[in-house]
Amino acid sequence: MQKFPAYYTIWHKLGVYALKYTAWLVLFFLIVPIVVIIPLSFNAEPYFTFTRGMVTLDPAAYSTRWYDAVVTNPNWMLAIKNSFIIGFFATIVATVLGTLAAVGLSSQYMPYKRVIMALMLSPMIVPSIIVAAGMFFFFTKFGLAGSFVGLVIAHAALGVPFVIITVTATLSGFDRSLYHAGLSMGASPLKTFFDVVMPLIRPGVISGAMFAFVTSFDEVVVVLFLAGPGQRTIPRQMFSGLREQINPTILAVATLLILVSVAFLITLEFLRRRSERLRGLEDHG
Amino acid sequence: MNDTPTIAPVALERGTSDVLTKAEIRLAHREVRRHKMVAFALVVPLLLFLFFSFVAPIATMLHRGFYSPVVAQLIPNTLQSLATWDGQGQPDDAVLTNMAIDLKRLAADRTSGKLAAEINRNKPGASSVVKSSARKLRRTDDADLAQNGATLLLAANKAWADPLMWRAVQKSGDTYTDGFYLTALDLERTFEGELQIREATQIYIKLYTKTLRMALIITLMCLILGYPLAYYLANAPSKTANLLMIFVLLPFWTSLLVRTTAWIALLQTNGVVNSFLTGVGITSEPLDMLYTEFSTIIAMTHILLPFMILPLYSVMKGIDPTLMRAAMSMGARPIPAFIKIYLPNTMPGLSAGALLVFIISVGYYITPALVGGTDGQMISNIIAFHMQQSNNWGLAAALGSMLLILILTLYWVYDHLVGTDNIKLG
Amino acid sequence: MKTTTMIAGAALGALLASTAMAEELTVVSFGGAYGAAQKKHMIDPYTAKTGTKILFEDYSGGIAEIKAQVEAGNIQWDVVDIEVIDLERACSEGLLEVIPASVLAPGADGTPGAQDFIPAAIANECGVGNIVWTIIYAYNEKTIGSVKPNSIGDFFNTKKIVGKRAMRKRPQVNLEWALIADGVPVAKVYEVLATEAGQARAFAKLDTIKDDIVWFDSWSQVPQLLNDGGAVMGQSANGRIFDAIKKDGKPFKMVWDAHVYDLDVWAVVKGSKKKDLAYDFISFAAGTKPLAGMPDVAYGPTRKSSMVLVDPSVIPDLPTSHLDEGLKADGIFWADYGESLGEKFNEWMLK
């Protein structure tokens, strides 16, 4: 039982309970659709729903056949491989360019800061259909449509805003005089950057890189417009599967992806705590 | 951090009481310039990269909405001879002959379909006229064609006597056109050059309105669901809040295709929700929930809800919890106290979350494409349709440009209200 | 740092390896049970024989994707399995390569290719015959209720048969059926559909069932819709229903009234960089033995020499045994009217 201040009326107490249950209902709404997928992916039947056997916990109603279907299907395996390759290179490009730019943008001397910042964050805001259509028109001219290079470039552009945001955030707690001290002691900007700045912003860079990777890993619209059959990725494979032939293989892949997100979430939380320790900040709560 | 780089660090170190010599001021300015250069040099690689990978593609798309060179390339002779036509009655035989010769060549090159598609955009139904004529003319003799081209063309299809057909040909011949943008606005230009509402069909304005309405509903849903949860989390003990935050962050980090898949599994005719409803006996027949506007709205609310909760939560965290308590201990009633004191304090988070959700949902493609059926489609879906299905790239570009303008306006509002440097992740 | 370098090296290696793999042939067809039969009788044997890897993709028909690739100069597909109802249009719009006569391999019995194929299978210069198939509609005996449909009229009669009808999201076949259901004689369908009034009549008929239609893109969706109750009856390629009945024992029933039969052919996308490889594949896939495997899913082979190899028990299920009940899809009509009717259809959908 909760303790209430003496001046609370009965209505007020009810209000507190109503709030609590509303909040729990919303949490339920947020999490249940994701949790439901996991048992469904072990369905022995080719349906998207709980069979009678599943409800009564009959072991025969469960199977790993859809996981086997993923592993033995060359299209899914190719998609998984491609997703990692494209994600990896897009992340590197976005992280390197984004980190450099974020350091520049954090400088108090940076001209036209507001405009440039707005431009660099805009890939996050502009609808992906517009980006995809534009890239389709433009990249075709250079033979980049239907190529890995084209997709890496496209996904790197989409990942850049996240790197900028996270790195800028770590830099905002960073004492600039260190950097200037390094510079004024005659060290080259590059050396100063790697020796002084980099260790401090590393958590921000890593979490930015993770965001960039997830952005690429989850991106489907640009892939739909730009990729050829040889460049199919996991989301694309899921998209066409959901459009054409719905079977629980997709649920098996979805479950695997949920595990990936859990891993990311844990890593990010770990990084956040470390970053706070490094910057000597107290838990902001 | 300070945006105004007028005072150099050198000057600061000297303190304010000293007077600088000219040489020192010069040195200071040079120092500032050097810092500016270094900062800018760091940004340049990304600027160049984004220019190639992002700005130029979008610019190409905008250009596509005006540029339509196909017809001018396919039938230059016909267009040239048609230039002197007054727009009334059947054009001269010379024009018809040129068209007949052009059509024969196009049929042999297998490009008559391209011409047909372009003209069809200005005169629905014209495509079959062009294509069937081209097919018939393909077998004619060259000499005969040069002699009796006009007669042969009219024999192939009598629609070539119709001035409206020729007006459509003439209009399609413009290399630069505002036609796509006008169509995107449900307008058209009469032969006399006046704007009027498109006669054939008006769908795009309706679709934009519908998209905005759906985005508004989604934003409101996110607000209604997100506000109490954010409030609860912000005022819960730190441990509980951190634990429950996982329920918000896990969906946020989960692939949107996974979440869309989940909604398909839940909402389909034989899905989890329907089995539950019929099993418990609430309904006897399964409800049609998937492939409707309802399923689009609910799935998108689920997907975008974290974007509302996170900024609200971080703002509410910063509000002193004693504020409300103090107000109420002094006898203020909860609801007025909430409206007068608490709500205004959460406005920064509220506007940030609401704008972000609204901006993202206006341009959403994937979820409506997968769960929207025919009545849950939004403007992005029709753009994709014209890109991939009808291959009307000019119209897709025009619709896309209008969407872009809408989004950039909202982004500008966001920048001024919230500030892009205040975007936080997680 | 060392591990990072190693990961980078491995990924780079993988990237190079996958670019090298671009030397594969991309073959596109309709997926589902049909795709599985093609994989078994055409794709896998070809790979086994020649070592050429094949990327076997699904699409849901139509010419839009081919057109986008050709017009953008971004060719992703090499070989396409295309419906003849779309073939004429695709060929006359320059989206397909003209196939050299040498691609027609002689039959297993030695008959020269040109004589072994049924004439309709090689009538168009851009395609080489594959199968004879048809579009029927089918219902689920479990969900249909007591009154069973047996004509196209019933498909359009929402009072007699209550429930959702699944239809493919394109004008082809739907407009033909609408006219037949509205009383137009089968022989006159295309003549009527060529007129403004006839088109209006077809759309008006479709209007009467618009609220009861579930639209689908891909043929693979139909057995699923019938199975999970998403629709009580649905338009389908006959093979999909046949497969669901035979292999999965589904309680589906086909209605042959006014089925619209057509051919599927192999074609090569214009500008394919692997044209010769593509021809080689087609020559193999349209051979006697691979084609003789298609009756697995109740599609008729387009080679006379293949018919000999067909299990006599499936012959009554082949479209060729029901030609007198059906309508031949008119590729030339759709070449001329595909564009404008497609546009009208989409506007009608959005209304």
Interchain CB contact of C214 with A (< 8 Å): no
**Residues contacting residue C187 through CB under 8 Å, at least 6 positions apart:** none
Is residue B312 predicted with pLDDT exceeding 90?
yes
Q: Which pLDDT belongs to residue B425?
A: 59
Q: Which pLDDT belongs to residue C13?
A: 60
Q: What is the pLDDT of residues A147-200, one digit of tens each?
A: 999 999 999 999 999 999 999 888 876 666 766 776 777 777 677 777 877 887
Q: Subunits that touch chain A (at least 3 Cβ pairs < 8 angstroms)?
A: B, C
Which residue, among C112, C45, C47, C38, has the nearest Cα to C266 in the 3D structure? C38
Confidence of residue A285 (pLDDT cuts 50, 70, 90): very low
Confidence of residue B424 (pLDDT cuts 50, 70, 90): low
CA distance B37 to A186: 17
Q: What is the pLDDT of residues C286-321, one digit of tens each?
A: 999 999 999 999 999 999 999 989 989 999 999 989
**Structural domains in chain B plus CATH codes:** 9-64 (no CATH), 70-177 (no CATH), 204-422 (1.10.3720.10)
CA distance B78 to B130: 14
Q: Subunits that touch chain B (at least 3 Cβ pairs < 8 angstroms)?
A: A, C
Best C93, C175, C193 member to test B by mutation, with max B CBs in 10 Å, is C93
Is residue A72 predicted with pLDDT exceeding 80?
yes
Q: Which pLDDT belongs to residue B418?
A: 76
Residue with tokens 């056109």: B177
Is residue B2 predicted with pLDDT exceeding 70?
no
Give me C210's structure tokens: 């618009």
Confidence of residue B281 (pLDDT cuts 50, 70, 90): confident
Angle formed by the axes of helices A148-171 and A113-125, to 10°? 130
First-to-last alpha carbon distance for chain A, in angstroms, is 25
Q: Residues of chain B whose C-beta is under 8 A from some C-beta in C?
A: 107, 109-114, 116-117, 120, 124-128, 131-132, 134-135, 200-201, 203, 207, 268-270, 286, 288, 291, 373-374, 385, 387-391
Which residue, among C15, C17, C23, C82, has the nearest Cα to C273 in the 3D structure? C23
Q: What is the pLDDT of residues B350-376, one digit of tens each?
A: 999 999 999 999 999 999 999 988 888
Query: In what helix (H) or strand (E) does residue A224 lie, and over which residues does it extend?
Result: helix A221-226
CA distance B308 to C21: 44
Confidence of residue A284 (pLDDT cuts 50, 70, 90): very low
Distances (CA, A) of B191 to B86, B188, B300: 11, 10, 44
Give me C143's structure tokens: 């969900």
Cβ atoms of residues B197 and B182 within 8 Å: no
Q: Residues of chain C whose C-beta is under 8 A from some C-beta in B?
A: 62, 64-65, 67-68, 71, 89, 91-95, 164, 194, 196, 214-215, 228-230, 332, 335-337, 339-340, 342-344, 346-347, 349-351
Determine how many CB atoms are found less than 10 A away from the CB of residue B15: 7
Tell me whether residues C339 and B389 touch, CB distance under 8 A.
Answer: no
Phi then psi dihedrals of residue C55, to 5 deg: -85, 110
Query: In what helix (H) or strand (E) does residue B188 lie, and over which residues does it extend?
Result: strand B187-189
Tell me whether residues C68 and B391 touch, CB distance under 8 A.
Answer: yes
Give me A136's structure tokens: 């389709």
Give me C8's structure tokens: 């980078």
Q: What is the pLDDT of residues B190-234, one digit of tens each?
A: 888 888 888 777 789 999 999 999 999 999 999 999 999 999 999
The CATH number assigned to the domain with range C25-133+263-328 reads 3.40.190.10
Could you state, in order of their start, the residue ranges of all structural domains in chain C?
25-133+263-328, 134-261+337-350
Rounded to an integer, the average pLDDT of C330-351 is 87
Confidence of residue B8 (pLDDT cuts 50, 70, 90): very low
Q: What is the pLDDT of residues B70-100, one digit of tens each?
A: 999 999 999 999 999 988 889 999 999 999 9
Domain C134-261+337-350: which CATH number of 1.10.357.10, 3.40.190.10, 3.30.1360.120, 3.30.420.40? 3.40.190.10
Measured in angstroms, the CA of C314 and the nearest CA of chain A are apart by 26
Confidence of residue B391 (pLDDT cuts 50, 70, 90): confident
Nearest by CB: C26 against A145, A229, A244: A229
Q: What is the pLDDT of residues B31-60, one digit of tens each?
A: 888 888 888 998 999 999 999 999 999 999
**CB contacts, 8 Å: B43 with chain A:** 100-101, 104-105, 110, 116
Tell me whether residues B272 and A120 touch, CB distance under 8 A.
Answer: no
Architecture of domain A78-278: Orthogonal Bundle (1.10)
Per-residue DSSP letter, B92: P
Record the pTM.
Answer: 0.89
Tell me whether residues C18 and A82 touch, CB distance under 8 A.
Answer: yes
Measured in angstroms, the CA of A19 and the nearest CA of chain B are apart by 6
Tell me whether residues B124 and C343 touch, CB distance under 8 A.
Answer: yes
**Average pLDDT over all residues of chain C:** 90
CA distance B151 to B158: 10
Is residue C3 predicted with pLDDT exceeding 60?
no
Which residue, among B291, B241, B1, has the nearest Cα to A169 in the 3D structure? B1
Interchain CB contact of C32 with A (< 8 Å): yes
Interchain CB contact of A92 with B (< 8 Å): no
Q: What is the pLDDT of residues B290-307, one digit of tens each?
A: 888 999 999 999 999 999
CA distance A92 to C11: 12
Among residues of chain C, what percentage have pLDDT more than 90?
69
Tell me whether residues C230 and B373 touch, CB distance under 8 A.
Answer: no
Could you state, in order of their start, the residue ranges of all structural domains in chain A?
78-278
Q: Which residues pair with B51 in a beta bridge?
A: none
Interface of B with A in 321-380 (CB under 8 A): 325, 328-329, 334, 359, 362-366, 369-370, 380
Max Cα-Cα span within chain A: 75
Tell me whether residues A211 and B261 touch, CB distance under 8 A.
Answer: no
HEC sequence for A76-145: HHHHHHHHHHHHHHHHHHHHHHHHHHHHHHHCCCCCCHHHHHHHHHHHHHCCHHHHHHHHHHHHHHCCCC
**CB contacts, 8 Å: B396 with chain A:** 133
